[in-house]
Amino acid sequence: MVNSSHEAMHRIFQEYPGLFTGVSKVLGVPFVPTTSVTVLSTDLTETQPIERRVDTLLRFDGEEPMLLAVEAQNAKDSNKPASWAYYLSFFYAKYKTAPLLLVVCQDKATAEWAAQPVPIGPRGWASLVVHPLVAGPHNMPVITDPDEARADLALTTLSAITHAKNPDVGGILKALSTALQGVPDAVAELIIEFTAQGLGGSRRAAEIWRNLVAVDLSFYKSYLVEEIRDEARKQGLEQGLEQGLGQGLDQGRAEGQVQAASHDVLLVLDARGVQVPADVLDRITDCTDPDVLRRWLVRAATASSAGEIFRDDDA
């Protein structure tokens, strides 16, 4: 028995599903004809907990309060728009505050994909449109002026992270390391950590940052050297374990020592203020011969240019 106007307004569609066709015509929004209709359960309660977590959620209060959900996206994912729609709907229902989704990307293709509005609903009438705001290498500034970097360290850090795969990322990183000189240790260390973590997916950018920090920020140098050595040893040991006990461990230790040796060459050059071009950086980090690396390390102590450590080797 229908006992209220509320019930009547929706249940009539259960009893007469074809009513929707007539209503859509009256409203001037024709839909593609259907072949069948199924009445589904109206209970939307999850019988089993489903874990859903947004990367970061912030509330901004003021004249127009706003929720900001921040998602880091490293690749295209066809399932993400549905998750984002759930997040935004949930936030609006729970907090009664306008939500905004910001997606941060490191490559242009992913950023362009994430920026496309995704209409949710039948063709002809979107009930919900997911339209993220996107920050990536296509629209983030390339900050190479130390004074500009010092004025907004956080923005410069994000600039470096989003441009990690840019061949000119070294200019951003140099500006940031210069800007951090004289900054309180607690602030500098946090910026250094965020930058190092954000550049982790780009080997070249990560190497440049380690070297800049070691030279430009002396208070952090001893810690950095140990971190580099520990990471190199760990990588070597892990690879050795994967290849088996015995020979695998020996090989892993050897590879770890080689990586540490290449870092030593770079640290010596940077400590002496010798600029290291990208081709020289690649040659040093790609070398797997410990004897050659030791020879380069000795030459690095007196070389007037980075390329000079290769003298006689190219003859």
Q: Give 263-306 pLDDT, tens digit per residue.
A: 778 877 877 778 888 888 888 888 888 888 888 887 887 788 88
In this prediction, residue 221 carries a pLDDT of 44
33-72 pLDDT, tens per residue? 767 777 767 665 665 666 677 888 888 887 888 888 898 8
Report CA-CA distances (Å) from 254 to 230, 241, 248: 14, 13, 10
In this prediction, residue 110 carries a pLDDT of 92
Report whether pLDDT(224) > 90: no
User: 154, 135 in Cβ contact below 8 A?
Assistant: no
Of residues 3 and 212, more confidently modeled: 212
Tokens 């936030």 -> residue: 91
Confidence of residue 153 (pLDDT cuts 50, 70, 90): confident
As beta bridge partners, residue 134 has 103
Helices (H), 19-132: 19-26, 80-95, 108-115
Q: Specify the amino acid at residue 141.
A: P
As beta bridge partners, residue 119 has 129
As beta bridge partners, residue 135 has 104
Report whether pLDDT(223) > 70: no
Once rounded to an integer, what is the mean pLDDT over residues 129-154? 91
- Dist CA 248 CA 261 (whole Å): 20
User: 57, 65 in Cβ contact below 8 A?
Assistant: no
Q: What is the mean pLDDT of the chain?
A: 79
For every residue of 226-243, DSSP letters joined together read HHHHHHHHHHHHHHHHHT
Cβ neighbors of 185 (< 8 A, separation 6 or more) are 219
In this prediction, residue 219 carries a pLDDT of 44
User: Is pTM beyond 0.75 here?
Assistant: no
Closest CA to 104 of 77, 78, 79, 133: 133
Residue 21 sits at φ, ψ, to 5 deg, of -60, -45
Instruction: Give percent of the chain with pLDDT exceeding 90.
Output: 18
Confidence of residue 8 (pLDDT cuts 50, 70, 90): low
User: 116, 133 in Cβ contact below 8 A?
Assistant: no
3-state secondary structure of 313: coil
